[in-house]
Amino acid sequence: MAYQNILVETRGHVGLVTLHRPQALNALNETLIGELNEALAGFESNPQIGCTVITGSEKAFAAGADVKEMAGKSYIESYLGRFLDGWTRISETRKPVIAAVSGFCLGGGLELAMMCDFIIASDTARFALPEITLGIMPGAGGTQRLPRFIGKAKAMDLILTGRMMDATEAERCGLVARIVTPETLLDEALSAAAKVASYSQPIVMMAKETVNRAQETSLSEGARFERRLFLSMFATEDQKEGMKAFIEKRKPEFLNR
């Protein structure tokens, strides 16, 4: 499948999507989001793929939604045309997705990164939700996800001032899982993804679903959900294989069932 705004490849059991609109710092237009959804759907339905990495260029993961595409829209045109509806599908993926971020990660770019399961950043990464400077506020989950990552005080600071945060601050406050050098960013992300993909796919998917529950429910409901899925894992061959392999001091061979 030939895409205009992204590059798609597989590396072993890992899917790799590179955002590729260099002339616009990977600004996320409707076509790009549609292509990204299509690529992710392809990886979701491919049993060979266990994890996906989304990355951008060294200068920009993505500088936000495409302001030039948004600028002239009317309310009624956007509402009737379901403008920007495609964005939510990214957060509905069941297999894990890792964001590998270098350079600018702004607005919708940061919202996209936060829809991934975790962010690995290079030390050049810069994060912001600068929508306020454009006379709007974040609209792809930023006002909801950012406080869950970094707490209300810092989220308010970023959303109301529009300021940029560097990688060190982003890691310190819990937005970013790891910081690496720009040269090693892709390798680190691909090797983390390969590790995830080496485990039992259904178990990984259940673990992802369960951690995401923590964001959406009370502690007791979340723990109950965890218990149910945990016990259901004993109905899989992979649980038997994983534990048997440990006892026999060998590498497990997971069959994804």
Length of the chain: 257
- CA 205 to CA 217: how far, in whole Å? 18
The reply on whether position 63 binds ligand DAK by CB under 6 A is yes
Q: Which is nearer to ligand DAK, 27 or 121 (CB)?
A: 27
CB of 76 to ligand DAK, least distance (A): 15
d(CA 3, CA 18): 11
Least Å from the CB of residue 110 to ligand DAK: 8
Q: Which two tokens stand for residue 118?
A: 């975790």
Q: Across the beta sheet with 104-106, what order do the strands follow?
A: 60-62, 104-106, 126-128, 165-166
Neighbours of 50 (CB within 10 A): 26
Please list, in sequence order, all residues whose beta carbon lies within 8 angstroms of the beta carbon of residue 191, skipping any fewer than 6 positions away: none
- Helix, strand, coil percentages (3-state) for the chain, rounded to 5, are 50, 15, 30
Q: What does the alpha-carbon distance between residue 230 and residue 21 come to, in Å, rounded to a whole number? A: 42
Residues 215-254 that bind ligand DAK (CB under 6 A): none
Q: Are 29 and 67 within 8 A, CB to CB? A: no
Which residues, in sequence order, are CB contacts of 96 under 8 Å at separation 6+?
50, 51, 52, 117, 193, 196, 204, 205, 208
Q: How far is the CB of 93 from ligand DAK (least distance, A)?
A: 16
- Which CB sits closer to ligand DAK, 23 or 220? 23
Q: Pick the closer one to ligand DAK by CB: 62 or 196.
A: 62
Nearer to ligand DAK, 111 or 117 (CB): 111
- Output the CA torsion 64→66→68→70 (10° steps): -100
Give the residue, chosen from 19, 35, 55, 87, that forms a contact with ligand DAK under the rule CB under 6 A.
87
Stretch that binds ligand DAK, among 3-11, 64-72, 171-179, 227-235 (CB under 6 A): 64-72
Q: Going residue by residue from 104 to 133, which x/- string records binding to ligand DAK, judged by CB under 6 A?
A: x-xxx--x------------------xx--
Is 164 or 245 the residue whose CB approaches ligand DAK more closely? 164
Question: Considering 103, 107, 108, 142, which one is annotated as catalytic?
Answer: 108
The one among 6, 65, 100, 189 contacting ligand DAK by CB under 6 A: 65
Interaction between residue 67 and ligand DAK (CB under 6 A): yes
The verdict on whether 108 is a catalytic residue reads yes
**Interacting residues with ligand DAK between 23 and 62 (CB under 6 A):** 24-25, 27
> Is 153 among the residues known to form the active site?
no
Binding site residues, ligand DAK, CB under 6 A: 24-25, 27, 63-68, 84, 87, 104, 106-108, 111, 130-131, 134, 139-140
Catalytically active residues, by annotation: 65, 108, 111, 131
